[in-house]
Amino acid sequence: PLGGTLKIHTSLSNTGKIFPERENDYAHGILQRVGKYHLMKDDVKSVGELLTEKEFTQIHERSDWMESPVEELVQTFERLAVFCGRNDVKIADHRFDALVNAMVEQCCKFSDEQLLKSIRMLTHFPPSESLNTRNFVELWSALDDACVERIDRWGTEELLLVCDHWYALNLAKICKCTFQCTKKLGRKLKSLSPTDLVQTMFYVNMCRKPMVDMFNFEVNLFESIDRLSVDEIAVMSMGFFKTETKIRNPQLVDKIFQRVIADIKTVQDISLVNIMKILRYSAKLQHIPHLDDFFQAVTPEIHRLSLLSCLHVALFGTDMQFYNQECLEKVIQRFAGDVKSCRLKEFERLSFVMGLYGFTAKDGSHTKLCQDILAELPNRISEIMKYPRCFPTCLHFLSLCGHQNEELISTVLDPKFYEMAYGKNYTASREILCLDSYARINLKDSYKGQLLSEKFRKTLTKIHTNYIPAKDQRYKLSAADTILLEIKDTCDDLYGQESSHVCHVLSQYERPDVVVTLNRKTMEPVPLKDSFPAHYTGQILSRELLLKDTPEMEDIEVFVVVVGGWNILVRNTNEMTGQLRLKMQQLRLIGLNPVMIPWYTWRKLTQEERPVYVKNLLKQANSPQP
């Protein structure tokens, strides 16, 4: 269990923090390197002579500290902190109770400098066991309260400086002072200097929630971005991303793209990752040209980047289904040579990227990577137990690439596993339904493992499939649903309502399709509407199922018209995503004849052209392939 095992490291060393986050340490290091920020400066040298053993004994044996002037209290505490740090004596030691109690009672009378010095000196004691360790919790809480009382009269410089003291103590996330300081700074964001803006964002990031009007960060950043280094822009990017704040100004997104591209040869890994995160979160379709420029610029740098940076390069663009072939090939090559150093989560994300695009590398490195991941998964039991949902998700994405391990699929379809992984939260379990269907369709002739029960398939189908769209429904139709209904109307006009039907042929895919039944020889309609089962049953509507009671079934062709929507086609190409490609393959495997109509083709057609287009499309699909 986590409780009771984490330690607060109250020294300036980074080891043992309660929130050990490399990104925050890196970002703070940027502030230190720039040298223009209001940061805590340690002043151990000002302490003077170290305590002797005799003086140390006198301090902890004295009981009347409550009567001492504040100057003596602070000076004694300062020398004691340095002594304890060098002799590994913790502040929780009961011998310090009298002194700590006096500090707690008197700290509200400290000058600003004495208050900050007391916080600084806490960093010199050895690590405390937890936030609530005796003496430590009483003192930091009292110092926190004393700081909060002074915030109204402190200016920008003092506010940033005190926040940095709490950061050095590793308590910036939890103390009230940091929250109240950023709240006050947030009221004057437009007037902050570029450096004050960056430092304010650093502490907002520490608090992990947008406590101020984040839009004013955008306004100021847009005006001052040319005066900031790419590393400082990375600190700002981290703050936007960690507070889940999208950059709404498209021109600011343009500028960030331009800056990172200009500095791509020298930008450090963590800075690059944080900038990519916020750009991925904020960029829209209008930024695809910049995204393309970025991929071209970063491709020659892939060899020097860390695997984490390479992973984010691969993920960059997935929200818009856009990638660069050469860039992604180089990323795949990096991982293909170093699979054992990757975590389960990296396996999942890499599989997602390859599965999303149905990606193939010219040198076949994608095949090697998929096979290596499948071979490595059985060795990751401890990670799978910790992050069980990553396992089936990874297997699902690999199946989109055409790679599978039947034994592993059987493992995740075992009720014991999916109950452990999902509990009763079946809204997150689409990949289980997809893998079950993959085993039933793609592995039909060889698979001998576990399958979902028909009852459970029906439950998952009801959760994961969209409603069948209708014109008279009360809620607004999506663009893809509108196209689907337009295609259905066109098919009705051509072949009659009894020969065209909207349904989920494959229940693992959320959107339905239009099924048209025609005579193979004459292309005349064949009424089959009554052969379709009820919606949302989880059944796979194979040719065999649909035509089982139909005479002369060999003369009937069952066409499935699939809408190629925005999100299932790779941007700026005619390529299908891995999901759509697998769907078309599975429709063929169950004996149906799928055709795909891209959204952009349909939109260009006039009302008169649409029937001709559909008729020719089905006729072409019915012709024997050379």
Of 169, 199, 229, the residue at which a domain comes to its end is 199
**593-598 and 556-564: which strand pairing?**
parallel
pLDDT value of residue 624: 66
Nearest to 442 by CA among 595, 590, 580, 577: 590
Pick the range with the lowest mean pLDDT from 386-395, 431-440, 463-472.
Answer: 463-472
> 516 forms bridges with which residues in the sheet?
500, 559
Residue type, 128: S
Convert the pLDDT of each residue in 327-364 to its tens digit. Answer: 999 999 999 989 999 999 999 999 999 999 999 999 99
Write the pLDDT tens digit of every residue in 502-511. Answer: 999 999 999 9
Is residue 209 one of the residues assigned to a domain? no
Q: Which two tokens stand for residue 292?
A: 């393309």
Please report whether residue 129 resides in a domain: yes
- Amino acid 44: pLDDT: 57
Q: What is the pLDDT of residue 18?
A: 34
User: Distance between CA 209 and CA 43 in Å, rounded?
Assistant: 33
Average pLDDT over residues 475-499: 94
Whether 527 has a pLDDT exceeding 70, the answer reads: yes
Contact assessment for residue 324 and residue 288, using Cβ atoms and an 8 Å cutoff: no
User: Is 552 in contact with 590 (CB distance < 8 Å)?
Assistant: no
Q: Which residues contact 142 (CB under 8 A, 6 or more apart)?
A: 103, 104, 107, 108
Per the domain annotation, does 106 fall within a domain? yes
Residue 21 confidence (pLDDT): 61
Q: Is 518 helix (H, G, I), strand (E, B) or coil?
A: strand
Mean pLDDT for the chain overall: 92
394-405 pLDDT, tens digit each: 999 999 999 999
Q: Name residue 122's beta-bridge partners.
A: none
User: Alpha helices of 451-596 — where are they, by DSSP H?
Assistant: 454-464, 479-495, 543-547, 578-589
Instruction: Please report, rounded to a whole number, the percentage of residues in the chain having pLDDT higher than 90.
Output: 83
* 213 assigned to some structural domain: no
- At residue 502, the pLDDT reads 96
β strands within 258-391, DSSP E: none
386-393 mean pLDDT: 97
The dihedral formed by the CA atoms of 429, 434, 439 and 443, expressed in degrees to the nearest 10: -150
Six-digit token pair at 544?
């065999």
Distance in angstroms (rounded) separating the CA atoms of residues 518 and 619:
10
Domain final residue pick, 145, 178, 199:
199
Looking at residue 320, its pLDDT comes to: 93
**Are 526 and 554 spatial neighbours (Cβ–Cβ below 8 Å)?**
no
Q: For the chain, first and last CA: distance in Å? A: 64
Which domain covers residue 130, as residue numbers?
1-199
Residue at 322 is within a domain: no
The last residue of one of the domains, among 199, 221, 255, is 199
How many Å apart are CA 29 and CA 26, to the nearest integer? 5
pLDDT of residue 7: 37
Q: How confident is the model at residue 2 (pLDDT cuts 50, 70, 90)?
A: very low
Residue 243 falls within a domain, yes or no? Answer: no
Residue 354 maps to a domain:
no
Tokens of 533: 């089962």
- Which residue is listed with tokens 């800056």? 259
The answer as to whether 79 is a domain residue is: yes
Sheet holding 513-519, edge to edge: 500-503, 513-519, 556-564, 593-598
User: What is the per-residue pLDDT across 152-183, written as a single tens digit (0 to 9) for each?
Assistant: 999 999 999 999 999 999 999 999 999 999 99
Number of domains composing the chain: 2
Pairing of strands 513-519, 593-598: unpaired
pTM of the entire structure? 0.89
- In angstroms, how far is CA 24 from the centroid of its own chain? 18
DSSP H or E stretch at residue 218: helix 214-224
DSSP string, 250-274: HHHHHHHHHHHHHTTTT--HHHHHH
- pLDDT tens for 70-86 read 999 999 999 999 999 99
